[in-house]
Structure 1
Amino acid sequence: MKQKINQSLKHIYTMTMKRFLFFTLILATFVACQKESNLKIKGTILEGKGKKVYLYKLHTDGEEAIDSTKIDGDGAFEFGCDVSYPTFFLVKLSPSNFVTVVGDSLQTVEIDGSYKDLATDYSVKGSEASEEVRVLNLHMMDTQKEIKQLQKEYRNVLNGSKNIQELNRIEKSFQKVMKEQTDFSTKFVKEHPFSMASIIALYQKFDYNNYVVQDLQTMKTAASALAAIYPDSKHVKTLHQNTLRLINKERNVKMHNMLKQYAVNSPDIKLPNVKGKVVNLSSLRGKYVLVHFWASTDQGSRIQNEILKENYQIFHKKGFEIYQVSVDTNKSSWEKAIKQDRLTWINVGDMQGSNQAVVNYNVQMIPTNYLLDPKGNILAKNLIGPEVNKVLSKVLK
């Protein structure tokens, strides 16, 4: 009898402990879910029923898959996650069809859009920074469309009439579109220095070589403001570090230029040509020389090449030379561009970005050029389109 009572008590104890552990687990799970849901990202995607939507966290060195879910019958989806400061996320339908949002704790970010083209056809509520990112990205997309159209026109002229006036018109349009985008993004950062969206604006690029925002003071303002309120954000820390690096670089350039003004007006450049032979810029003393920085992957540089060719044919016999410095890092790409564009002047580059020459001449964007007189003095800077012909016509009559 005593044994049966002991067995019954043991059974009751075991069942009680199991129930206790079960409810403890449920409570722990509930607490964890509560913690993981201090940010909600949800919304409705039209015509997306049954399709998958993915959530990625955007880091400074790439993206990390966080979660995925199916869009329900009403087109709705929802994610929950834990953040302690504003964080960048990508809501993706496919690698090329996604939106960028900025989520902070105790926020619910709502996205409404279409499955077919979420990237350009969506609205966002609950996060002012996410709406600002939307405006920035859509404006940049419009700019890229204009650039692609101009590139198409350029190729058509190049493959057809090769009309130099038409190429000049395209180049002017190209520069105008880029300036308008730069002005727009720079103005945004100046007006929103405390917004995480400003990080998106500061890292926008026209292409691999050229950032949209070139003004260091604008970058400094945003980096300082964001570091003051979001010191733990990795994106903010990286922006701050990059800004300090650029400030130091600017100081070095100013110091170098100050020293150079008491020596030769234009610093010498010693770089190898395609065949590996080092060609010194100083070896061209006695001629008018256009020192032209470019990249084979930069469309603006390639457009300039056609215009430079026209002027080279006119003025080369009169004492004009082009010393073209490549900032490329891929030799085959560089050589291919020289061959395709039929460039017959001096082309040099170390295939490591030609960094010393870039620093010495304070090159901030590609293409950039300097016109030197026979003594190496700088006569003009950043001559584009018809300006090259205009200046050379005066000095080489």
Structure 2
Amino acid sequence: MKRLLILWIGLGLLSALSACQGDSAGNVKGTVLRGQLEGADDMQINLDRVYIGRANQSLDATTSDGKGAFSFSYPDGLEPGIYKLRVGTKSIVLVLDDTHNKLIEIKGALPDLSDPKKLEITGSPATQEYNEMLSRLIARTAKVDDISAFIDSAQSPLAAAYIAYQALGREGTYLPMQRKALDRLRGAGEGLADYVLAYDGYLTQLETAYQQKKAQEPIQVGMEAPDISMPNPQGKMMSLSDLRGKIVLLDFWASWCGPCRRENPNVVAVYKKYKDKGFTVFSVSLDGVDARTKARLKSQEQIDQMIAQGKQRWMDAIQKDGLEWPYHVSDLKKWDNAAARQYGVRSIPRAFLIDRDGKIASTSVRGAEQLEQEILKLLNK
């Protein structure tokens, strides 16, 4: 009887061990996605398949238990792709470029779905790579060149493509970067063919809209750059035409423009590198007060005070951002800035590149990499 009891115990332990091994990552068949979220007790958990430039597809749903635990199991495996886990109003993106016999686990609290850094996610290196870059974008510490570098170097072409799509959006200036992300995605294998098709279609539509918009703009490549004459912070008149013979970046910006301030380090770096080779910057600030703002103010004294404050912020930003070139001008009329209207500037930052003959060489340059490439083309002409 004692030997029989020992045998039963041994079989029980073996069975328990086998069950534990069945739950481990090494013994998963297909794809298993499971997790435990504190505060998500007895809630519906939704799983969507996410596409680039196309509507999401609702894939599956389950209900968590009383401790916020849940599980999705696909014995035949999920298709590689981008997925979104939704719990109430919270959600998190999962980039799964390898779903063969994979266990993906998520642990944390329900509010942490809004901040992936606080979640513990295992089994998906591509998701971790994506979340690291996403956190930088949310914190606004990633610049355009950082996004470009991520597109080039990310281990997961799918993560690179989705970051490009999210971060660069419908800004036509960045189409070359998005095309680069698409090329990497295209080379990742047939398993992502539906993503390649969707992304390519999205970029084709974006390219068409961008070209139509450019065709309607007053400034076109090859035309003579309209002259600009405005005062600098000290009141001295400065003219764009005085820089004939140099390669000039005509940069529209403002001290109150966050994206402009984040772009400034790129401009500074390129200026320092090429200033001795015939390159300079002519900056037009959209600080100050426009007619719309003036209409809300009660007196000329208030208007004058706001203009003075805008001018001071402009001067402070020049110093703080290290904009060391001497060509800084503004009429302190914000969106009513005469040069901005003349050049069709409706959003900032906006930059034009002008060649040595005073002709427009590019109507949209952003980021140190793109700017440097365009400057080198002109230097080598």
The two structures have a TM-score, normalised by structure 1, of: 0.47
Structure ranking higher on relative contact order (CA contacts 8 Å, 6+ apart): 2
Work out which of the two has the higher radius of gyration on C-alpha atoms and give 1 or 2: 1
